[in-house]
């Protein structure tokens, strides 16, 4: 089964999947104080949360009942942290996790271990659930900043919610502070990604 967004070429993913800097856990820029954050901003996915800047634990969990993977990934310097809920094995493999029976297309053979463990739910802290319709997501979160179509046949619709940093960019040249991406196929939510960048101005 071919899934969306993270499966696109790296250059495309850099354009679309961006991350958060200093928005959460008290590390807020002056323009992004907690009482000014949009109502859609979330910190919880499938029962997991972003961890404090200094101690992000990279994990990957597979829920055998639903067929969904949850991934929390942060770079060693804390620059990029992502929460991903997906059934796309390529995404998981590209992060370095070995999946039994799946042939990786990565240059390096995946070696990280996946934990088989039930997820507490396929939902966000705001109550958005896998299987929801686009109208349901907008009713709870409001209108997305961007709606994009991806996939070889444009079969995936991505609702992208973003907060931009006012003034300056991060070390990768991005101006986005925090992104939530909700990916739909045939009118149903199939994937959720939260991304943040913690090193703006470096």
Per-residue pLDDT of the chain (202 residues; tens, 9 = 90+): 445 555 554 333 433 333 333 333 333 333 345 557 889 999 899 999 887 555 668 899 999 999 999 999 986 655 678 999 999 999 999 999 999 999 888 777 888 999 999 999 999 999 999 999 999 999 999 999 999 999 999 999 999 999 886 655 444 445 567 899 999 999 999 999 999 876 433 3
| Residue-range domain boundaries for the chain | 5-197
Q: Report the distance separating Cα 194 and Cα 82, nearest Å.
A: 6
Q: H/E element holding 13? A: helix 10-16
- How far are the Cα atoms of 16, 77, 194, 197 from residue 73, in angstroms, in the given order? 17, 12, 11, 12
What's the length of the chain?
202
pLDDT of residue 57: 82
Cα atoms found within 13 Å of the Cα of residue 134, Cβ hemisphere only: 14
Q: pTM higher than 0.85, yes or no?
A: no
């Amino acid at each position: 089964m071919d899934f969306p967004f993270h499966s696109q070429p790296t250059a495309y993913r850099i354009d679309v999947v961006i991350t958060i800097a200093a928005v959460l856990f008290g590390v807020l820029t002056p323009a992004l104080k907690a009482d000014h954050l949009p109502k859609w901003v979330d910190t919880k996915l499938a029962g997991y949360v972003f961890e404090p800047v200094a101690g992000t634990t990279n994990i990957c969990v597979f829920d055998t009942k639903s067929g969904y993977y949850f991934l929390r990934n942060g770079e060693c310097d804390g620059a990029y942290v992502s929460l991903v809920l997906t059934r796309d094995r390529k995404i998981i493999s590209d992060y370095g996790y070995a999946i039994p029976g799946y042939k990786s297309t990565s240059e390096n053979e995946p070696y990280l271990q996946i934990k088989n463990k039930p997820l507490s739910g396929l939902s966000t802290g705001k109550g958005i659930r896998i299987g929801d319709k686009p109208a349901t997501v907008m009713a709870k979160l409001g209108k997305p900043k961007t709606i994009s179509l991806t996939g070889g046949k444009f079969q995936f619709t991505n609702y992208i919610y973003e907060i931009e940093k006012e003034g300056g960019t991060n070390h990768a040249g991005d101006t986005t502070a925090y992104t939530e991406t909700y990916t739909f196929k045939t009118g149903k939510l199939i994937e959720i990604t939260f991304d943040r960048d913690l090193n703006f101005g470096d």
